[in-house]
Structure 1
Amino acid sequence: MKILDRYILTSYLKTFISVFLILMMIFVLQTIWLYIKELAGKDLDIIVIVKFLFYFMPKLIPLVLPLTILLASIMVFGSFAENYEFAAMKSTGISLQRAMSGLSIFIVGLGIVTFFFSNNVIPWAEYNSYNLRRNIAKLKPAMLLAVGQFNEMGDYNIKFDKKHGDRDQFLDNVTIHIKGSNGRTNATVIKAKLGELTSKEDSNVLTLILTDGHYYNDVTAKTFKAREKKPFVKSNFDKKLMNIDLSKLNKVDFDDKSQTDKYNMLDVPGLNKAIDSLVQKSESDYEGFTKNLYQRTGFMRYRAPSKTINKDSVYTGEILDIFDTKTQLQLVDLANKSLISSQQILTTKEKSLRNSQTWLNKHVISLHEKFALGFACIILFFVGAPLGALIRKGGIGLPMVIAILLFLTYHFIGIFSTNSAKSGGFNPILASWFSTLIMLPLGIFLTRRATADRGLFESQGILEPLKKLFGIKIKPQEKDLSTFSTETDEYTTLTTYDNAKLIDIIKNYKHYNYDIKYKNSALEILNERGVTKQQLKFTGEYSDERFDETIRLKNACDEDANLALILYVFFTPLVLVGKILENNHYESIGKGLFISGVVIGVVYLIALSRSFISFSNFKKHVKKEVFANSILYILVGLPLFFIVYIVQKRMLNKDVKEDEIHDPLIQVSKNQN
């Protein structure tokens, strides 16, 4: 048993490492593409770029690792089932659980390591990458000015409509905003019809010559009355020279790491401490806010006259009746003003309180995601391993399709739930675990089906009646099993032949223009002599049924594709028309059509999956399986199945013809004719 565990673990590790490296390379390239704008034109040293990628790689693990485990599990266990290794294990009394037990220990260990990785390494990487990106963003290239947008150069914002010249040194319709002393407002505006850049690209001074322009400058007055007049200075110029110093902008310390308090930079103890502080701050903010609202009402200044109500009695009348008329008017006016004021305060405070709650939710989500990632690795293994054993297919074709679809479902559920939780629409703790909890019953379901050695989906119970209903069931052609009577001359002649001659007749009866009765009678005579059809198949002397299997698989593929197309034709219009009617005030009819379309759409997805499996089995039989088939089903099958249907029909007919050409009996018959 140790040898078996070692063999399964070795096979899994080889596939796991290969898939992990490929996916990591893909995601690193995607990261470069995503942040190319931040890196391009900055004249960065190669060490800084390597640091940038090195800090970003650990942050890719929550994406790469679950997908790697899922895909590797499907590929390895699918390959075991495809090569009948599981059948051999079961024949010796080794169940699927026993085959998975050794690998399960490795996966549990990997899940624990993943937790420590997400708790220690990923926050460290986030801390370093965030600060490095912040420092890179401070770099300002001297001559990298984009057309049609404001280019920030310290206190200067430069915009122009067009750049031309042999060195792109001429700028048309230049607008420059210069910040004031407070660093926030644009105190000076310069507009010119033409600008010319005369400095070199690697210079730390941006020299700009402006021609035919206007100069506007806001004047900061000393008194409030003077400021209300908004004084400014305006002037014209024929030519103006501007020198912008960029040396301070490019003096950036890439090792500066002053930002340390983001939620994804903290480990579990740090997050717990931050969450406690945020909860206390939130409670104190709410308490202070309620006290402030109460104090602003001013109702505590008004007390009921002691003469009107006895201390031992209960008053059941109108509250205003206990005051005199003057006080009643004051109270009504105060209530009206307090209501308006409170509404304004609530509107202003609402955004602040919502931001505080969002910040708290982000910390809670980050805390629980560290634990959820390790459990997700374990659960996705128990989804992928039995799924591979059920589909009985290894490689990168069907397993890749299923793994990507499952992972996208897992990933997008997680994104939608966490985004909803950040805005307060969903519980943040449940949001962190939601996608993992969705996958848990799927893993249990698949493990039970694989253990019971049942199919992935018993879709035939649903699809077969539909095929009969729509009349698309293709009846298999009955074989002609007729033989010569033992009393005929042909049969007597065949009995005089030796086994080699009879086998030659079986293989080449069409070449001799013999009837099917010659072949069947020869098989019967050989069977009487102790040479069975199975023995002939085993020795390769009887291969006539290969093309029959090709036709059977083609018919099965045609049936499933036809059913999927019919369901697609029903489901698409129902969903679209239902939504249109629902949006045009026909809610009852529209909702009914939409729900009907969704139900048919679910059956369509089952038929689509069945069609893909049938098509994959056919391509495997004719030894023409290609990865492009999987991509075709993923990208086109769901939205536009009729395109897949047309392409699939052409491929099926072409492959059947090619397989017919390679069939030796049919080819000999055609050559003879």
Structure 2
Amino acid sequence: MRILDRYILSRFLFNLISSFVIMMFIFIFQSIWLFIDDLAGKGLDMIIIGKFFFYKMPELTEKVLPLTVLLSSILTFGNFAEHYEFAAMKASGISLQRAMLGIIIFMVGLGGVTFYFANNVIPASEQKIFYLRRNIAKLKPAIAIAEGVFSDFESADMNIKVDRKYGENDNFLENVIIHQKTKTNINYRVIKAKTGELKSSENSNIIQLVLNDGQLYENVEGTKSEKRKYPFAQADFEDYTMNIDLSEFNNVDLEEEKDLRTEKMKNISRLTKDIDSIQEDNIRRVTSFSKITSERMGAFIPLPEQDTTLNKKRQFKNGTTHLDFDIFKDSIVNIYPEWQQVQVMNSAKNSTTNVLTSVRGKKKEMNKRYEFHRRHILSLHKKFALAFSCIILFFVGAPLGAIIRKGGLGLPMVIAIILFLIYYFLGVFAENYSKKGNIHPMLGAWLSTLVMLPLGVILTKRATADKGLMSFGRVIDFFKGLLPKKKDKRTTS
């Protein structure tokens, strides 16, 4: 390797490592604010909290690394241009592409390392975080309940308030109030108890809440005339046991938690296998449901062929005789007597209502399954997109630094943050749209990278040709041509 290549690569690595460390600290502190309610004031050891953020670092690398590559490339080549080092290189016959060659080889290697990281390290860290949070909740069940405020448990459709927690693991409660809700978020039961105790098992996701010396109030559905009186049932108890599901605290969707592995916890081989199996299962469910619905409605039943020209006259139960079937083209109900027509219409209406209700319920279920399938496709392509994004963002930052000719943490930092925000928010919007099925998941994973690709090509061409970031000369000349020219009033003598 030439001395110049070593010099350029060493400067780039210095900026890359220093930028990565600074950005990682910033994102870690941002994560602390997100999880401070779950970790602060819960009596956890600093070792456990340190493990949590250590396992969180690989996930943050997915956000930090593209920004680091963009910022370090702008800083490196901006410093070269600001101190006229590029001018000296070009005077010696070294082009921009030749100066970037050593770093390009390094970035290709970094892309391979990033792909391995996304395929192996990040899924393993996601599993560690999941099990750690679950074990924290089992070790200290009261961690999911705060003092003095109502703590929501959406998976159990309830919220809990306690005045005080005490005991070695804060598992003893004082003055407990529980509101249980219906699926429509309406309170139907209130439980009050003077004391309570939380119990858990290491082999279960269920917290057992034992209440002592309390009362239970529950709404009772009465007749129409009694509804205005708001009847309710009241009961006193000495001991009352409830079970609380921990899945809400784990913050994991139940549909994705069958074997405690979400799409973020899987590598490419597992994702590819699960994508095929999930798709086959969705097709099987839709086919089975459509077949059952068709049989239930009596639709698409094969009928024997009949020659209608042989028997045009027909005697019906109501005693009427018709020469042809044209009278039935408006309504088939006309073939029944009048006293049966109302029954037929009501039966058809009820059957249609039942089928529509079944279809709506199945639609919600299938939408969740389709979203689960799209999440797997998105996660698969994001592993490839992350590796390529580092290479493409380098080709955006390096020529941009050569064009703006500024080093340091001033203007390069501002430009890098603006470009990264564009890249990041495009990725977030595309990811959300793809999860809902508005765009294909593959496009959702690659959209932000594909947007940056033409920008990198344009900036590289302009930096190679020693052009500025923007050329307003042609635009100004165009508008000047639109203005009327002033006549020369000077006369020759």
2:74 is the alignment partner of 1:74:
yes
Q: Cα distance 1:119–1:340, how it changes in 2: closer, same or farther (>3 A)?
A: same
Equivalent in the alignment of 1:430: 443
User: In 2, distance between residues paired with 1:316 and 1:2?
Assistant: 95
1:159 pairs, out of 158, 161, 181, with: 161
Query: Counterparts of 1:126-141 in structure 2 under 5 Å?
Result: 126-138=126-138, 139-141=140-142
Q: Which amino acid aligns with 2:378?
A: I
2:273 is the alignment partner of 1:273:
yes
1:447 pairs, out of 424, 440, 460, with: 460
- Residues 226-277 of structure 1, C-alpha deviations (whole Å, 9 max, x = no match): xxxx984446xxxx999999xxx9xxxxxxx995321000000000011011
Q: Cα distance 1:54–1:456, how it changes in 2: closer, same or farther (>3 A)?
A: same
User: In 2, distance between residues paired with 1:189 and 1:176?
Assistant: 6
Equivalent in the alignment of 1:584: none
Equivalent in the alignment of 2:148: 147
2:292 is the alignment partner of 1:285:
no
- Residues 332-368 of structure 1, C-alpha deviations (whole Å, 9 max, x = no match): 6665444323322222111111111110000000000
Query: Counterparts of 1:170-569 in structure 2 under 5 Å?
Result: 176-177=177-178, 189-190=191-192, 215-216=215-216, 232-234=233-235, 260-299=260-299, 306=306, 308=308, 320=329, 325-326=335-336, 335-459=348-472, 461-462=474-475
Equivalent in the alignment of 1:114: 114
User: In 2, distance between residues paired with 1:96 and 1:293?
Assistant: 67
Q: Cα distance 1:102–1:343, how it changes in 2: closer, same or farther (>3 A)?
A: same
Equivalent in the alignment of 1:59: 59
Count residues with an aligned counterpart: 414
User: In 2, distance between residues paired with 1:143 and 1:16?
Assistant: 40
Larger-Rg structure? 1
**Does the aligned pair in 1 maintain the 2:275–2:377 contact within 8 Å?**
yes
User: In 2, distance between residues paired with 1:317 and 1:143?
Assistant: 70
User: In 2, distance between residues paired with 1:97 and 1:17?
Assistant: 23
Deviation at 1:100, TM superposition (A): 0.5
**Does the aligned pair in 1 maintain the 2:11–2:76 contact within 8 Å?**
yes
Q: Which amino acid aligns with 1:135?
A: N
Deviation at 1:68, TM superposition (A): 0.3
More strand by share: 2
Q: Secondary structure at the match of 1:215?
A: strand
RMSD across aligned positions (CA): 4.3
2:49 is the alignment partner of 1:45:
no
Equivalent in the alignment of 2:487: none
User: In 1, distance between residues paired with 2:346 and 2:241?
Assistant: 59
User: In 1, distance between residues paired with 2:133 and 2:309?
Assistant: 71
**Does the aligned pair in 1 maintain the 2:149–2:161 contact within 8 Å?**
yes
Q: Cα distance 1:319–1:358, how it changes in 2: closer, same or farther (>3 A)?
A: farther
Q: Secondary structure at the match of 2:177?
A: strand
Q: Which amino acid aligns with 1:441?
A: P
Q: Secondary structure at the match of 1:71?
A: helix
User: In 2, distance between residues paired with 1:280 and 1:436?
Assistant: 31
Percent identity between the aligned chains? 44
**Does the aligned pair in 2 maintain the 1:304–1:322 contact within 8 Å?**
no
Q: Secondary structure at the match of 1:104?
A: helix
Deviation at 1:309, TM superposition (A): 5.1
User: In 1, distance between residues paired with 2:364 and 2:358?
Assistant: 11
Q: Which amino acid aligns with 1:64?
A: V
Equivalent in the alignment of 2:203: none
User: In 1, distance between residues paired with 2:94 and 2:421?
Assistant: 34
Q: Which has the higher contact order (CA 8 A, sep 6+)?
A: 2
- Residues 508-559 of structure 1, C-alpha deviations (whole Å, 9 max, x = no match): xxxxxxxxxxxxxxxxxxxxxxxxxxxxxxxxxxxxxxxxxxxxxxxxxxxx
**Does the aligned pair in 1 maintain the 2:462–2:469 contact within 8 Å?**
yes
**Does the aligned pair in 2 maintain the 1:145–1:151 contact within 8 Å?**
no
User: In 2, distance between residues paired with 1:142 and 1:413?
Assistant: 36
**Does the aligned pair in 1 maintain the 2:95–2:464 contact within 8 Å?**
yes
User: In 2, distance between residues paired with 1:435 and 1:143?
Assistant: 37
Deviation at 1:102, TM superposition (A): 1.1
Q: Cα distance 1:377–1:157, how it changes in 2: closer, same or farther (>3 A)?
A: closer
**Does the aligned pair in 2 maintain the 1:190–1:215 contact within 8 Å?**
yes
Q: Secondary structure at the match of 1:288?
A: helix
Query: Counterparts of 1:600-611 in structure 2 under 5 Å?
Result: none
**Structure 2 unaligned runs (5+)?**
165-173, 181-186, 197-208, 221-230, 247-256, 312-323, 483-493
TM-score using structure 2 length: 0.73
Q: Cα distance 1:207–1:91, how it changes in 2: closer, same or farther (>3 A)?
A: same
**Does the aligned pair in 1 maintain the 2:137–2:144 contact within 8 Å?**
no
